[in-house]
Amino acid sequence: MNRIVSLLSGWLIKHNAIEPNDRELYEYALYSFLLSFTPLVIFLIISGVIEMFWEGVLIVFPFMVIRKFAGGFHVKRAYVCMIVSAGLLGVCLYVVAHTTIGWFFHVLVVVAGVSIIVHSPIDSENRRLSESEIKQYGLMTRFLVMSMILFYLILVAFHLGYYAGCVVISLCLTALLQLPCVLMQKLEK
Question: What pLDDT score was predicted for residue 2?
Answer: 75
| Residue 126 pLDDT greater than 70, yes or no | no
Question: What pLDDT score was predicted for residue 182?
Answer: 86
Question: What pLDDT score was predicted for residue 155?
Answer: 95
The stretch 143-162 carries a mean pLDDT of: 95
N residues, the chain = 189
Question: What pLDDT score was predicted for residue 5?
Answer: 79
Which residue has better confidence, 4 or 145? 145
| Residue 121 pLDDT greater than 80, yes or no | yes
The 10s digit of each residue's pLDDT in 164-186 is 999 999 999 999 999 988 888 88
Percent of the chain past pLDDT 90, that is, above it, reads 42
Question: What pLDDT score was predicted for residue 89?
Answer: 83
Q: For residue 84, what pLDDT band results from cuts at 50, 70 and 90?
A: confident
Question: What pLDDT score was predicted for residue 125?
Answer: 67
pTM comes to: 0.82
Question: What pLDDT score was predicted for residue 46?
Answer: 87
Distance CA 21, CA 27 (A): 11
Distance CA 54, CA 44 (A): 9
Question: Average per-residue pLDDT in the chain?
Answer: 87
Q: For residue 1, what pLDDT band results from cuts at 50, 70 and 90?
A: low
DSSP for residue 110: H
Which residue has better confidence, 66 or 84? 66
Cβ of 112: how many Cβ atoms within 10 Å? 24
* Cβ proximity of 81 and 126 under 8 Å: no
Say what angle helices 161-188 and 53-70 make with each other, to 10 degrees: 30
First to last CA, the chain: 36
The 10s digit of each residue's pLDDT in 2-46 is 788 788 888 888 888 888 888 888 888 888 787 778 778 888 888
